[in-house]
Amino acid sequence: MPEATLLLQFLVTGAGTGCVYGLVAIGFCVIYNASGIVNFAQGSFVMLGGVVTYSLWHALHLPLAVAALGAIIVSVALGVLTDLLVVRPLWHRRATMFVMILATLAVQIVVERLTLIVVGDAPMSLPPILSRGPIHLGPIVLDTQVAFIFAVSLLLVAGLRLFFTRTATGRAMRACSIDRDAAALLGIPVSRLVAVGFALSAAIGAIAGILVTPTQYTAYNLGVPFAISGFIAAILGGFGNPFGAFLGGLMLGITQSLATVAFGAGTRNVFSLAVLLIFLLLRPQGLLGTAKT
Amino acid sequence: MPSNIIGWARLIAGVLGLSAVAYIAVTGNYLLTALGFAAIYVVFVAALNLFMGHAGQVSFGQNAFAAIGGYGSAILTANHGWPPMLAMLASALLAALVALVVGQATLRLRGHYLAMGTLALGLISYEIAVQWEQVTGGYMGISGIPPLSIGGFAAETDRQVFLVLALAAVLACWSVWRLRRSRFGRAMGAVAGSEEAAAALGVDVARTKVITFVAAAVYASVAGSLMAHAVGYISPEVFGLHMVVVGFTMLYVGGIGTTLGPLVGAFVIGMLPEVIRGFRDVQDLVYGVVLILILIRAPGGLAGAWRR
């Protein structure tokens, strides 16, 4: 009996981390759908979310909510700058996919190193955003922060669903994901949508980073691991499908959590990679995806 | 004799570059260490060039194979007293084996998937180096690695070390050039151009990719071994994402897909730390910015400009 409870407990914790991976994965999809680009600097948004919030809160003594808002703004600015300064010139030159990947990876490195120079390499953490004790659901203890992660993630996913189905911009972005050239012919401003995609994706990434920081810690070099987990989640869900991506994130978080219980924390990433390879070999279109090249 | 201005410019640049290297080597300047370091990177970048420039594939995880070489050499020589050349050979074999297994799985992937898969490979090798403390020494790394030696001859002074490393660099460039011009090299070029067309011409695409991946892994492993012996100390940081960024910057500055690109890029970028003289954090920042600028402004690199 205690073992079953423990297992359930790990499932809940895993799902909490999974929500964060899911948000990172959605960030990948939003840019990919608008532009066909996989942004390898996605992790820098997640890292900045946590690090900037911490810095504003700790050094400038701003209230946590204001600091978080500041972090989101910084991330969005970075997203838009990445699009304007790096992606757009390469896009106009019709650079190969590989060059685009390398350039965005270089952006990741530049942001990471700048962060290291400005705030140093000490790990930093945030207090839980809601300050009350854990919630007891029968035998399971739900950490308030994990509950908060669930709530915010679900709200965001619902909000994005509305955005993609009800607003003109969201619909135009979906049109782009189906056929960019046809969308352009119909008068949809594709390059402006790519900028919107980068801004939106950066905001989602930053929120993911802010949410996850109180449950673990963050540091300048945590962007790439989060990006890889998010990318794996996006593939599990069927690349380009934001809601599939969120499911993929949940699945990955739970897998990692179970691997930690069974084989120790060091094996988490080995298991993520194993899940990725199994999916790529057996079901490359992912959970909810349709085969698309 | 060159027939036009560009030809003369090439000749002069080449002569100036070579004489600078020769001058530093003969006078035993403090820059010799930096030059040796650049020579090691020539081997690493030549392999990147083989896999990406010539075969048209993508790998962000070549540092994993350098780590196998570096740790293999360090553990076998420093802890078990193996002769350096034998340790280097054994490590390269292990790297080839790992590349064969990993390559079978990952090279089925294309595009973004392959890029992210190989990036994850590099990250995992870094984590293993940090976590597997009883073998790798964790963050502390491994020190007391002996210098390179064959039989009774050991490369001990800076000048001897540099000569060995320079020889390795030249061998690497030459062998990649030979490989590119062989029958297998033409198959590689066909795969880079169009996999469908190559298959139609009778090239075994999957096999060509895996063999190229294994070959690139062996070069990377040798570069890792050379690094271990030249510095005498290794840690996970040596083979981290830093190595990938430096490698790509060198490849693009030199010119991807060219024969001399790795040589030019590694020496130009390898001397950069001596110019900026900052900490590693600043260096990576500079590398990243240079890489972005090159990709946007001059995708052909220096060798690309050279050819024009």
Q: Which of A86, A87, A91, A113 best probes binding to B when mutated, by most B CB atoms within 10 angstroms?
A: A113
Looking at residue A291, what is its pLDDT? 45
Q: Average the pLDDT over B198-209 and give the result.
A: 87
Residues B41 and B168 sit within 8 Å (Cβ to Cβ): no
What percent of chain B has a predicted confidence (pLDDT) above 70?
89
Domain residue limits, chain B: 31-240
Q: What is the dihedral of CA A152, A157, A163, A164, to 10 degrees?
A: 170
Test B124 with A106 for CB contact under 8 angstroms: no
Q: Which of A74-88, B128-142, B194-208, B239-253 has the highest mean pLDDT?
A: A74-88
Whether residue A1 is predicted with pLDDT greater than 60 in this model: the reply is no
Q: Which residue has the tokens 């502390």?
A: B140
Mean pLDDT over the full length of chain B: 83
Looking at residue B223, what is its pLDDT? 94
For residue B291, what are its two tokens? 């890489």
Q: What digits encode the pLDDT tens for the residues A90-147?
A: 988 888 888 888 899 899 989 998 999 898 888 888 887 766 677 777 777 778 888 8
Residue A74 lies in a domain: yes
Length of chain B: 308
Q: Which of A113, A232, A276 sits opposite B281 (nearest CB)?
A: A113
Looking at residue A292, what is its pLDDT? 45
What percent of chain A has a predicted confidence (pLDDT) above 70?
95
- Give contacts of A91 with chain B, Cβ < 8 Å: none
Residue A15 lies in a domain: no
Q: Which of A81, A101, A118 best probes binding to B when mutated, by most B CB atoms within 10 angstroms?
A: A101
Test B284 with A113 for CB contact under 8 angstroms: yes
Test B284 with A109 for CB contact under 8 angstroms: yes
Long-range contacts of B78-85 (CB under 8 A, 24+ apart): B78/B142, B78/B143, B78/B144, B78/B145, B78/B146, B79/B142, B83/B149, B84/B146, B84/B147, B84/B148, B84/B149, B84/B225, B84/B229, B85/B148, B85/B149, B85/B150
Range of the structural domain that residue A272 is part of: 33-128+141-282
Q: Average the pLDDT over A42-69 and give the result.
A: 91
Number of helices (H), then strands (E), belonging to chain A: the values are 12, 2
Q: Number of structural domains, chain A? A: 1
Specify which residues B234 forms β-bridges with: B142
Q: Average the pLDDT over B282-304 and give the result.
A: 82
Q: Which of A101, A110, A224 sits opposite B241 (nearest CB)?
A: A224
- Give contacts of B58 with chain A, Cβ < 8 Å: 98, 101
Residue A134 lies in a domain: no
Test B295 with A99 for CB contact under 8 angstroms: yes
Residue A91 lies in a domain: yes
Residue A18 lies in a domain: no
Closest CA to B68 of B105, B20, B24, B102: B102
Q: What digits encode the pLDDT tens for the residues B65-109?
A: 999 999 999 999 888 888 888 899 999 999 999 999 888 877 777
Q: Per mean pLDDT, which range of A231-240, B107-116, B276-285 is the poorest?
A: B276-285
Whether residue B216 is predicted with pLDDT greater than 50 in this model: the reply is yes
Whether residue B204 is predicted with pLDDT greater than 60 in this model: the reply is yes
Q: Per mean pLDDT, which range of A34-43, A48-57, A242-251, B271-280 is the poorest?
A: B271-280
Whether residue A203 is predicted with pLDDT greater than 90 in this model: the reply is yes
> Which is higher by pLDDT, B18 or A252?
A252
Test B112 with A97 for CB contact under 8 angstroms: yes
Looking at residue A293, what is its pLDDT? 39
Band (pLDDT 50/70/90 cuts) for residue B157 is confident
Q: What does DSSP assign to residue B58?
A: -
Q: Average the pLDDT over B294-302 and give the result.
A: 81
Q: Average the pLDDT over A284-293 and give the result.
A: 60
* DSSP run (H or E) holding B234: strand B233-234
Band (pLDDT 50/70/90 cuts) for residue B257 is confident
For residue A226, what are its two tokens? 């989060």
